[in-house]
Amino acid sequence: MYLSRLELFGFKSFAQRINVKFDSGLTAIVGPNGCGKTNIVDAIRWVLGEQKTSVLRSDKMENVIFNGTRARKPLGMSEVSITIENTKNILPTEYTEVTLTRRLYRNGDSEYLLNKVPCRLKDITDLFADTGMGSDAYSVIELKMIEQILSENAEERRKLFEEAAGITKYKQRRKQTFKKLETTSQDLSRVQDIVLEVEKKVASLERQAKKAEQAKQVKIELQRLEIELAERGLRELREKIEPLVQTIQQHEQHKGDLTAQLDSLDADIQKKLLDMVEMEKRLSAAQKDINQKAELITATEKQILANEERRKSLAENIARARGELTTHQTRLAELQTQRIELETELSLRLAAFDAQKQSFEQDSAAFIQTEQSLREERAALEQKRAAAADLSKKISSLQLEAQSFESRLENLSVQSARNDARKTDLHQMIAERASQLALLGEGIERFATALASETAAFEDAKSQRAALQQTLEQYKETLLKHRADLNATTSRIEFLQSLLESYEGLPEGVKFLDNDNEKQFGLGSLADLISIDESDKLALAAALGEAQTYYVSRTASDALAAISKLQESEKGKLTFVVLEKIAPPERIDFTGIDGARRISDLVRCADDIRPVIDLLLSNTFVVETLAQAAVFSEAHPHVDFVTRAGERLSARGLLRGGSVKESEGLRIGKREELERLAAEKATLADAIHALEADIAAVQNDIHAIDLSAMERRLREMQQGIIENEKRLAQVSFEKASFEAELTTLDARLAADRNESEKFQTELSRLHPEISMLELSLSALQSELQEQLQHIAASEHHVQVVGAEIQQKNLALKESEFGLEKLRSAIQVSDQEHKNATRQIERLTTEIEQSNDESFRLSSELETMNANLRALYAEKDAMQHALNDIEVAYTTLKSDLNQNESRLRDLSRQRDVLLQMILEFQQQLSQAEVRAEHLRTVIKTEYDVELADRTFSDADAFDRDDAASRVQQLKNKLKSLGLVNELALEEFEDEKKRLDFLTTQRADLLDAEKQLRDTIHEINKTAEEQFSKTFAAIRQNFISIFRELFNDGDEADLMLQESDDPLEANIDVIAKPKGKRPQSIMLLSGGEKTLTATALLFAIYLVKPSPFCILDEVDAPLDDANVDRFVKLLAKFASDTQFIIVTHNKRTMEACRTLYGVTMEEEGVSKLVSVKFDDAKHN
């Protein structure tokens, strides 16, 4: 079993998809620092399920996705797949090749696939559990882990031992069981609290039911009295209501008169108010007019100020415009002088330019004629060249055609020879395939016959094993049940023994006498010598009372000796029952007590104790309830009665009752129960031993049936048939292909012969035609040569003349450019002249407009001042009119105030009258409310309509006595407290609930016991397995350490003392020769590496890992120790595949395959591989 292939895509620096194929033995991964070697190790960890980002050298899991470079974009996902050859069936799966795939996307989604089928992380973890190949197992070792393995923190070191011992799953199961135990304990605590609460509630409901009947009788009498009192009170209220109604009517009439006077006065007030409103409107209008005049005056004054400011601004603008006008007139004169000078210079230059231009045009005309002659000669030359080219092209075409025919003839000849050889080979291969087909058919028949026989045997073995397995499971279930019963019985026996040995509830003297080693004073306390059914235990305890603690002695001398012993030791007093002094009492025959049982008949005890029981209990009977006991006691006053709840009603008038304590009757029957449980325990132990023997026998039978070997043989046969069938199909296909190819070859040879004859005919036609065309081409080329020489002389003359014309053209262009500059200057001067003229015109117009505007503003100011004086006169007249209106308004307001004063007086009189009416109405309302309240109270309390009755004065009804009796009845109800009418029904429901909770508590106690047993079993199995593995690793470590160092060096492994061996620390002791370090951390780096290597390979000897990845662990080693390290690797390479990341050349030399990791492109890792065996061979 080994790691055969690793595929990476988008993981860290591996941007492109790469495939790494591993062979068994040693494989090295090399490369410079930072190129991505360790990323391959991280990829293996990651795909095996590693979840810690720190182990992957990252802050978060997203960082394992390729993050891009300058030239590459980041990827959206990372994927790693590994393929493991499961040839040794170490992995618990039926596949011989297992492929694991893990994907991570940037959005946080992830996938796990097992053989391309989606799965969970837990599935992968379970698959590799206890195989040494998990993400945190010892299959991947880095240099930093050397420090961790040998560090003071032994947690990492312990994990290696646990993985090798295969106890990881046991620790996980123990952890899960502890969680279940904690949950069960919490549930048990909650159920216990609920049971206590429900027990209290059941007792309370029982008391409430008794109170309900007593409260009912009180309520009937109370109802009668309260209705009587209410009817008489209602009549008294009626007698108060009638006079109040008459008084209210008289006051209502007086109120009407006052209301009429108030209405008349109020109308006059309203009229005056309307007049005042009208005057207020006039006042408001007049004031509004005055305000409008004031606003108009203000606006006029503002306009006058604005016009004056505008007139000042216009004067300033006129002065500025006159200054600018003078400046522009001066510039206009300068421009006129400048234009005259420019026009004179332009006339002189135009004359010179015309003469120069005429000379240039004459020379250009002569040059054009010369060029035209040259072009005609060139056209004639090109025609001859075209003719020569056509001839040459035709010749080449014919030559190519001839060469093609010759080449095809040669190919046909070679192909014909090859086809003839192929025909011979095909005939031979067809014969061979026919022979193979016959042999393969016979082989398939043999495999099919053997497969049918083996399949039948496999099915029989499978059925037999299934039946044995079913029998084994039945035995195991029975064994588990017996063990659970045995544990429960043992716990009960321990409890009973502790109870009996504690002597709880017994006097101190009983324990003292029983534990006296010098003499046996009697049989013990009476409670230990008798027994009874559990349901009657409380009744027996109540019947015996203090007699439970009586000490039973056979003789009076024993009793006296015991008393003397108690006195000497000051252990208190005891009551002794002397058997020899007790005669069987005369049994009294009680008849007619149906439903009661004599309790002495229910007690179980030895024959010699029976007289004691008859003496104490012959006159005591058991009934169900205390109420029954009371009834029976009336009929049988000389008999004692007890209930199952532990209550007692004595014939002497004593009554015992109350809540039940757990300690009541605790020791009664416990000794008998202890003896019975001891017998049951022995029986269960025998049954368990027999079942264990049966289980071992069935397991041996199951192991004897090796289904895996049979299944392997079946697969091998099936694979053989499949291989033969594949081979048969392949051979048949090859034979048919060869026959088809032979037919095709025959047709192809005939076609090749016909085509060869056709090519020979074409070649005979082409060769004469090519010779004639070559002669014509030679003559035409001679003519072309002569004409080319003549054209060359003409071209030279044209070039010389063209250069002269070019110089004249340049001079002409310069003259023309100078003329253009003069014309541009004249145009600029003209434009400036026009601009100055326009500015002068604009300024002249602006001055005239400003003068006109200034004159207009002066006229407006005179008009506005006149208007302002008129407005002031109008405002004064309006103010006089407003004053007159205010005087009239003041007079009217005075009259209105007098009327309002009279109105307030009348309103006060009416309000007083209204207050009296309201007070009488309130009294009337109170009386009616009290009457209605009486009706409502009686209706609500007793659902009775209160009658309006008439009572005579002679009626002798004492209201005070009735009220006193009502109060007494209410006090009685109050003393009874809250009475639950549904107490009986609730009592039954809660009793059922209590029974259910009691059952649940018992189930939880059983579950808690089973969980503790499970934890004990897990600890026992894991400790045995761990101890065995630790001892083997220790011996291997000592041996390998001496192999890596020297024979005299000391090394050992020590398991520290701990309450829990599964959590104990493991110390590593390493003392190379000549050194005595106090701590292993004082060793050198190389010594630590060799020590950790020795420990790892000691583990491999116990439980080999199929593959191991070592990341630069040889870095601290010198050459000599590297040789030892490599030698050790080679020794283990037959069982374990090693993949080593290294920089050491000696380690590289020892490896069969070498993978190089490079980074040709920045940030992107690339992989190259070399097999040393192949390289040496080449």
Q: Which domains does the chain show, CATH number per domain?
A: 1-137+1111-1124+1142-1178 (3.40.50.300), 505-666 (3.30.70.1620)
Give me the pLDDT at residue 587, please. 62
Specify the pLDDT at position 49: 85
**What is the predicted pLDDT for the residue at 101?**
94
pLDDT value, residue 1178 = 47
pLDDT of residue 189: 78
Q: Identity (one letter) of the amino acid at 974?
A: K
Whole-angstrom distance, CA of residue 543 vs CA of residue 1053: 69
Q: How confident is residue 977, by pLDDT bands cut at 50, 70 and 90? A: low
Is residue 237 within 8 Å of 931, Cβ to Cβ?
yes
Interval 570-582: pLDDT, tens: 888 888 888 888 8
pLDDT tier for residue 978 given thresholds of 50, 70 and 90: low
CA 366 distance to own-chain centroid? 98
pLDDT band at 151 (very low <50, low <70, confident <90, very high): low
Q: What is the pLDDT of residue 138?
A: 62
Closest CA relative to residue 114, chosen from 85, 83, 139: 83
Please state, rounded to an integer, the average pLDDT across all residues of the chain.
79
Q: Is 679 left (phi over 0), alpha (psi -120 to 50) or beta?
A: alpha
Q: CA 841 to CA 837: how far, in whole Å?
A: 6
Of all residues in the chain, the percent with pLDDT exceeding 70 is: 92
**Cα distance between residue 1108 and residue 1129, in whole Å:** 10
Query: Which of 779, 771, 788 lies closest to 388 in space, CA to CA?
Result: 779
Confidence of residue 103 (pLDDT cuts 50, 70, 90): very high
Give the span between the Cα atoms of 67 and 72, in whole angstroms. 9
What pLDDT band is residue 1177 in, cutting at 50, 70 and 90? very low
- Position 586 confidence tier, pLDDT thresholds 50, 70, 90: low
**Averaged over 760-776, what is the pLDDT?**
76
Q: How confident is the model at residue 556 (pLDDT cuts 50, 70, 90)?
A: confident
Q: Summarize the confidence of residues 848-870 as an average pLDDT.
A: 79
Residues 868-907 pLDDT 10s: 778 778 877 777 877 777 777 777 777 777 777 777 777 7
Per the CB < 8 A criterion, the answer to whether 1053 and 1033 are in contact is yes
The DSSP annotation for 1123-1154 comes to HHHHHHHHHHTTTSEEEEE---HHHHHH-SEE
Structure confidence at residue 1086 (pLDDT): 78
User: How confident is the model at residue 955, as a pLDDT?
Assistant: 67
Distances (CA, A) of 894 to 269, 277, 283, 903, 908: 12, 14, 17, 15, 22
Say whether pLDDT at 79 is over 90: yes
Q: How many residues are listed for the chain in this entry?
A: 1178
pLDDT, position 102: 93
The pLDDT value given to residue 156? 65
